[in-house]
């Protein structure tokens, strides 16, 4: 049987988890700004681990809420239904901290996401420009395309080697 203390512990664990996620998101944002793909990949792997932990804690939260008689209630409703003044104040403080932590994480996440989406759009545009600048190469001659040091594309004529000594 769960108690309000168990629920408080769970909420504190959620806060700690979002603090850790926020740290990863800050590193991820810097990696995105610096176009550091290795660091970005590391952050995304770490983020996946935290998100799995979050899912586990959220399932446990749902279970606790149900057992404590707070099923399908929002935190504001839960706080209003707590009879003990001390618990109500503690829940209110924890809820405020959790909300602030989650909002900060969401802001960082949205910033990183926006930069990533902008970079992807830029890459798509660059690819389109390259496609338009690439000379059309006849079917079967795609292997005869070379690039000069300045990035220009050259379609070469096919080479035929013949042996004059027979």
Confidence label for 112 from pLDDT (cuts 50, 70 and 90): confident
115 CB-near residues (< 8 Å, 6+ apart): 29, 32, 33
Report how far residue 72's alpha carbon sits from residue 141's, in angstroms, rounded to the nearest whole number.
64
Strand ranges (DSSP E) for 6-59? none
CB-based burial label for 20 (10 Å; 0-12, 13-18, 19+): middle
pTM summary value: 0.70
Domain definitions of the chain by residue range:
4-116
Instruction: Please give the average per-residue pLDDT across 14-42, as a whole number.
Output: 92
Structure tokens at 99: 């909300």
Give the pLDDT confidence of 12-25 residue by residue, as tens digits.
Answer: 999 999 999 999 99
98 CB-near residues (< 8 Å, 6+ apart): 11, 14, 15, 18
Q: What percent of the chain has pLDDT over 70?
A: 81
């Amino acid at each position: 049987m769960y108690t309000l203390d168990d629920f408080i512990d769970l909420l504190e664990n959620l806060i700690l988890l979002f603090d850790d996620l926020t740290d990863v998101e800050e590193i991820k944002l810097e990696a995105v700004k610096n176009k550091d793909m290795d660091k970005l990949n590391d952050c995304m792997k770490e983020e996946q681990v935290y998100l799995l932990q979050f899912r586990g804690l959220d399932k446990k939260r749902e279970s606790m809420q149900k057992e404590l008689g707070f099923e399908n209630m929002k935190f504001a409703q839960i706080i209003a239904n707590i009879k003990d003044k001390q618990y109500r104040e503690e829940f209110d403080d924890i809820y405020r901290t959790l909300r602030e932590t989650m909002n900060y994480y969401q802001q960082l996440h949205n910033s990183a996401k926006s930069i990533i989406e902008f970079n992807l759009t830029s890459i798509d545009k660059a690819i389109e420009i390259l496609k338009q600048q690439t000379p059309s190469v006849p079917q079967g001659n795609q292997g005869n395309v070379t690039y000069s040091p300045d990035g220009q594309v050259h379609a070469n004529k096919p080479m035929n080697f013949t042996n004059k000594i027979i």
